[in-house]
Every structure is written in structure tokens, then in C-alpha cells.
Amino acid sequence: MEKNGKEVMYEGKSKVIYAGPDEKSVVIFYKDTATAFNGEKKEDLNDKGKLNAAISNLLYDYLSQNGIETHLIEVIDETKVLAKKAEIVMVEVIVRNVAAGSFSKKYGVAEGSKLNNIVAEFSLKDDELGDPMINISQITALGIATKEELKEMEEKTLRINDLLSELFRKVGIKLVDFKLEFGRFDGKLILCDEISPDSCRLWDLETNEKLDKDRFRRNMGNVPESYQEVLTRLLNV
Ligand code: TMP
Ligand code: ASP
């Protein structure tokens, strides 16, 4: 498949992956499309692609300065980056600092409830199955990742949680929860995909106002404006 004269390797709900200039890289394009409930709700939101790209690039730079290896090689333009072509581990790692979203729904706890410890969960990356939650023994039984890889992913994720929570706190934002993806590259596990208001829950520290994709999921309006607010605050840290 070709788009704008370039070979499309994969088109997801919010990004397109093009073949890169060499075998070991890809070009990732951030679309304006927002989806929720496994694609059931879908809309194009002004500037969402460039806002998510800018936020994710900034966070990846910060993580990389703090010793976390990411797929990011360089920023091409406002909506495109050159990234390492990693083999994506087909599980998503979710971290929760505060109860919200599916955790609140599943376990009957009010959103915003304090948790006694940080929660780490895995979900199978499979849209057709609706990304079901999956545990470590199920992941290893299916041969998706090894126990050692999962341990490393969890350790890296908790370190990333510490780093991001601190950064967001500085700009008056509570990092409620977020999702990460990892990939195998040159024998190492590296951070892949994006970290943006699409993949995090971000609440204003003082008012608890939502500054993330829940505004889209829950028809609250002002989605790009909230993403812009996150970016503006991060740029002024
Ligand atoms: P959840 O509460 O719906 O399980 O979501 C937990 C976190 O993961 C939240 O910050 C949003 C993010 N997330 C994604 O990045 N992609 C997804 O497909 C889903 C369902 C959640
Ligand atoms: N990313 C998922 C979807 O597009 C779910 C979500 O973020 O709520 O449906």
C-alpha cells in the first residue's frame, strides 16, 4: 500500500507507519483521528496529531536524558518522526497511581480513589479481542514475551512512572494512569509508540479537571484545547 508516494507498513487508529530510509528505521505519522471504545467512536480533531507528536517527543527526550532508551531517532516535522524499527511486544503495560477508568468500573471504586500501592497491569494488544487484560503466566504460556522480558518491562515502566509523575507534578498535573508499549531492537527492550494525552490520564493537580482523552471518550469537549494546555505547561517547565 502507498500513501503520499511512501510505502505504508501499517496503519493504526491514530498513526501510520511508513518504511524508513533504511531497514532499521520507520517513519511514524501522527494522525488527527481520535478513536475510543475500540474504534466505535471516531472523529478527526484539529491539530491532535501535531499536539500528540509534540508532547510525546518532549516526554521521550526527557526520558532519554534520564537513561530510558526509546525508539525516537529524530523529529522530521510537526507530525512525523523517524524511529527505530523495533519488533513490538504485543502487550500493553498499564500503570495506575490513582483509581480511574476501567479499573474503577471493574472493581467498583470511585474515580480518584487513593490506591495503597501502584498498580501495574498487562493487556493483550489485539483490537479484535478488545485488548483483554492478561497476566504474566498467560503471556509466557502464549509465547508473547518471556518472564525476564516482562520483569524488565515492569521495572522500566515503574522508573518511567517515577520520572513522568515528577515532571507532570512540576507543571501542576497529576499523572493518574498511562499505557506503554515496548519493542525489541538490537537485543534490547526499548520504549515504543507514544506517550500523550491519548495514552495517559492527566488531571489538573488543584481542580482535577481532565486534560486527556477522557474528554473525547466522555463527550466533554475542548479536547485539542486541553492537549494544548498540557503542551504549553510542559514547554514552560
Ligand atoms: P483504562 O482505564 O481504560 O484501562 O485505561 C488505562 C490507561 O491506558 C489510560 O491512561 C488510557 C490508556 N489506554 C490506552 O492508551 N489505549 C487504550 O486502548 C486504552 C483502553 C487505554
Ligand atoms: N484506543 C482505543 C480505541 O481507539 C481505546 C481508548 O483509548 O479508549 O478504541
pLDDT one-digit tens code per residue, 170-189:
999 999 999 999 999 999 99
Task: List 123's β-bridge partners, or say none.
Answer: 92, 133
Which atom in ligand 1 lies closest to the alpha carbon of residue 123? 4
pLDDT exceeding 90 applies to what percent of the chain?
97
Average pLDDT value over all residues in the chain = 97
Q: Is residue 33 packed enough to be buried (19+ CB in 10 Å), middle (13-18) or exposed (0-12)?
A: middle
**Ligand 2 center to 107 CA (angstroms):** 20
Which atom in ligand 2 lies closest to the alpha carbon of residue 217? 8
pLDDT one-digit tens code per residue, 196-226:
999 999 999 999 999 999 999 999 999 999 9
List residues near ligand 2 (CB under 6 A): 13, 35-39, 213, 217
Q: Is the pLDDT of residue 5 over 70?
A: no
- Residue 217, classed as helix, strand or coil, is helix
pLDDT one-digit tens code per residue, 94-110:
999 999 999 999 999 99
pLDDT computed for residue 4 by the predictor:
67
pLDDT one-digit tens code per residue, 121-132:
999 999 999 999
pLDDT computed for residue 178 by the predictor:
99
Pocket test for ligand 1, best of 165, 174, 179, 196 (most atoms within 8 A of CB): 179
Q: What is the mean pLDDT of residues 113-120?
A: 98
pLDDT exceeding 70 applies to what percent of the chain?
98
Q: Is residue 210 packed enough to be buried (19+ CB in 10 Å), middle (13-18) or exposed (0-12)?
A: buried
pLDDT computed for residue 109 by the predictor:
98
Q: What is the mean pLDDT of residues 41-56?
A: 98
- Ligand nearest, relative to CA of residue 210: 1
Q: What is the mean pLDDT of residues 47-73?
A: 98
Give me the DSSP letters along 35-71.
Answer: EETTTTEEEE-TTHHHHHHHHHHHHHHHHHHTT--BS
227: Cα within 13 Å, side-chain hemisphere: 27
Pocket test for ligand 2, best of 14, 33, 37 (most atoms within 8 A of CB): 37
Q: Is the pLDDT of residue 237 over 90?
A: no
- Ligand nearest, relative to CA of residue 103: 1
Confidence of residue 90 (pLDDT cuts 50, 70, 90): very high
Please, where are the H alpha helices in 77-213? Answer: 101-107, 136-141, 147-170
pLDDT computed for residue 161 by the predictor:
98
d(CA 12, CA 94): 19
Q: Looking at ligand 2, which residue's alpha carbon is closest to its atom 5?
A: 36
Q: Is-contact 130 38, C-beta < 8 A?
A: yes
